Structure formats: C-alpha cells, structure tokens
A and B are shown apart, each in its own frame.
Chain A
C-alpha cells in the first residue's frame, strides 16, 4: 500500500516535471555554448553543470570570469545568486524535514528552481500527502530535468558557436521563470509580494554582488506575510 502510494507519487512528479524539459534543454544548451565560447574546455564546462547544478549562478560565475574579476568575487557573487536556495530549503523543511538524512542530502543536491516551484505548489495543494510520497514526488520531478541538464550542457559545449543568435535562446530563462510565477499568484498577498519583489529588484539593481536580489526577496517576503495578516483581519472583521 505504502509502496504503491510513493510509486504513484513518483510518476505524478515525473509527469509534472516533463514540461520543464522544454525549459531546461535550451538553458543547458546555452550554458554549454557560452562556456566554451568563454574558453572553458569540455571537462570544465561539464564540471560546472554537474558539481554546481544551478544555471543562473553558473552564468554569473562565467560572466565575472570573462571580466577577469578576482576569484573571491566570482565565488561570492555566484553564491549570492544561490542564496534563494537557502530560502527554498527552509520553505521545503516543514514538508520533507522528517525524511531520512541521506534523502534530504539528495533533495538538497537536486534543489533547482523548477523542482522547488513544482513541489511546493503540489505540497500546498495536497496536504494529505505523506512525507515518503512527497520525497518520491520530488525525485519524480527532477528525473526528466537533471539528466537533460547534464546532457544538453555537453551538446552545447560540442556544437558551440553553430547556434545563431537569432534563436534568442537567452530569453528561454526569463520566460521559464515568468511562466512559473503566473500560477503562483493565487492570493492578493502573493501578488503584493511579487510586485514588491520586482520593484525592489529594479530599485536595488545597482547594489554590487547581486545583493539587490536578496534585499528584494526579504522585502517581498515581509510584504507577503504582512499582506496575508491584513487580508485575514479584513475578512474577519
């Protein structure tokens, strides 16, 4: 019984992860292309995608390495982009924190934006799921995503400059993220948080080392929490 429940949760996650193939493939391809154009060899390019497995920060590191930034600045800036992962980790904790430690370690390694976004939506809308089912679901979501992340980094690194800029692959990343944001705007509090996030990110874009994003995220989280309380009071009065 328990095994069949976790099994079906895995396949549900797998199906929910499939659409992200359209997103991850061009992103990985783009990283492979840009990394080799920047002078990284095949092994180094693959090293980034397998060891780091976080596209936005990989692009950040690459950009700063091209600019000959000091090594420490490269690492800190790319890590700042990934600070959101700590927030994802905290946000997933109430749902999968009771799973065995080694499973949580794998959840951490595979914690990409798409896996987090898809899982958290499912956990919130299906509170009856067991911890084991949630973990299976999560690994289901990453199954179609992660191997293609590795594979298409490799393809990108090998085909290199033969992809014309007219393909506008650069915009695959923003479109993917925006597409995930739309369905997240479920309540006025979520909308308020998103609006504040955009406004602060643009307003603080001048802050070095991507810390503007962290300021924006913290401001937006407080906004969402306060808006939730405000709307609850209004509904209650």
Chain B
C-alpha cells in the first residue's frame, strides 16, 4: 500500500483535478449562448455516461471476481424495468434490492 505522503498527494491531486473538471464549463462559459448542435449533444450526456458506467459493473461484478452472477443480472433487469415503467427512482431501487436479496437467497 502507498505511504502517507503519497496518499495525501493523490487525494489533493484528485480533488483539485475533479473540481477543475466540474467547474470548467459552468465557470468558463457561464452565460454565453451555446450553439444548437452543442445543446443537442448535451441533452444526451447523462444517458450516454451512466449506462456505460454501469454495464461492466453489472456484467462483471468485482464481488464475484468478475464472473457474471444471475442474482445481480436479475436485479439490474428489474431495476431498469421498474424505473422505466414507473419513472420513479425509489421504486426502482426497492425493486432491484428485493430482487437481489431474493436471488442471492435462492442461488447462493
């Protein structure tokens, strides 16, 4: 494991770097109008990043050493379906958690 000085260097480098990423557009562009084609792409930011962020975590969970796991796959599917149909984040989470624990109980 990394020594204390290096750990703090990583923490602050990561903290400053992350703030710069978060502040870059909102701070620099501010109230200037963005062209229509830029806005059209920005509308899809969330839906372009989050599914890609999650897909490998669902397919290859670290907790099962990267092996696909039926309980986790089922939980993911239920969460997405409930979220899509109800448009309600909390119902989707509860549905997914219930499926996960049921699946782990049945399979594991």
Contact = CB atoms under 8 A, between A and B. Distances in A.
Interface string B52-69: 111111110111000000
A88 B45 contact: yes
Nearest to A51: B15
A171 B22 CA distance: 26
Contacts, number: 292
Of B39, B84, B104, the most chain A CB neighbours within 10 A belong to B84
Interface in A166-193: 166, 168, 170-171, 173-185, 189-190, 193
Chain A interface SS verdict (over half): helix
Contacts of B22: 82, 85-86, 88-89, 108-109, 111
B27 A101 contact: yes
Of A165, A170, A177, the most chain B CB neighbours within 10 A belong to A177
Contacts of B80: 178, 181-182
Interface residues of B, number: 77
Contacts of B17: 75, 79, 82
A158 interface: no
Nearest to A109: B19
B93 A200 contact: no
Contacts of B29: 90, 93, 97
B14 A108 contact: no
Nearest to B81: A182
A66 B1 contact: yes
Of B50, B62, B100, the most chain A CB neighbours within 10 A belong to B50
Interface string B10-43: 1111110111011111110111101001111111
Contact of B46 (A91, A168, A195): A91
Interface string A68-80: 1001001100110
B45 A87 contact: yes
A180 B89 contact: yes
A182 B18 contact: no
13 contacts: A40-B7, A61-B10, A78-B10, A89-B25, A90-B25, A97-B29, A168-B72, A175-B75, A180-B89, A184-B50, A195-B51, A220-B47, A221-B48
B40 A200 contact: no
Contacts of A197: 47-52, 55
A107 B27 CA distance: 10
